[in-house]
Structure 1
Amino acid sequence: MRIIITEHAKKRLKDLRQEGITIADITAAATNIPGRIPTATRFRGFIARSGRVFDIVAKDIPGGRLVITIIGK
């Protein structure tokens, strides 16, 4: 499945709260969500390689899985 990360999500990775979360972490997390996501939904409790816990908001679109934003803990 193709993972599409919005510019907003990429910009948020520069914030202090999301420090230590990489694009690879986001891609792995989005890939591991089973099933189809018809509406934007928050998925909680992913762990980055750095140890930082984060949530993602994602939904499925015809082009793949769209990651709308990242929320670091």
Structure 2
Amino acid sequence: MRIIITEHAHKRLRDFRQDKITTTDIICAARGIPGRIPTATRFRGFFAKSGRMFDIVAKDIENGRLVITIIGK
């Protein structure tokens, strides 16, 4: 499945709260969500390789899975 990360999500990765969360971590988390996501939904409890916990907001579109934002813990 193709994972599309919005510009907003890329911008959030530069914030201190999302420090040490990489694009690879986001792609692995988004691919790990089973099923279809028809509306924007928050998924909680993912861990980056650095050990940092984060949530993602994602939804499925025609081209793949759209990651709208990332929320670091």
TM range (shorter): over 0.9
The 3-state SS of whatever aligns with 1:37 is coil
Unaligned runs of 5+ in 1: none
Q: Deviations over 1:14-72 (max 9, x none)?
A: 00000000000000000000000000000000000000000000000000000000000
1:31 partnered with 2:31: yes
What amino acid sits opposite 1:69 in the alignment?
Answer: T
C-alpha deviation, 1:13, in angstroms: 0.2
The 3-state SS of whatever aligns with 2:24 is helix
Superposition TM-score, scaled by structure 2 size = 1.00
Superposition TM-score, scaled by structure 1 size = 1.00
What amino acid sits opposite 2:50 in the alignment?
Answer: S
CA distance in 2, matches of 1:13, 1:50: 14
Question: Which residue does 1:51 correspond to in 2?
Answer: 51
Q: How many residues align?
A: 73
Unaligned runs of 5+ in 2: none
Give 4+ residue runs of structure 1 displaced > 4 Å after superposition.
none
CA distance in 1, matches of 2:49, 2:10: 17
1:15 partnered with 2:15: yes
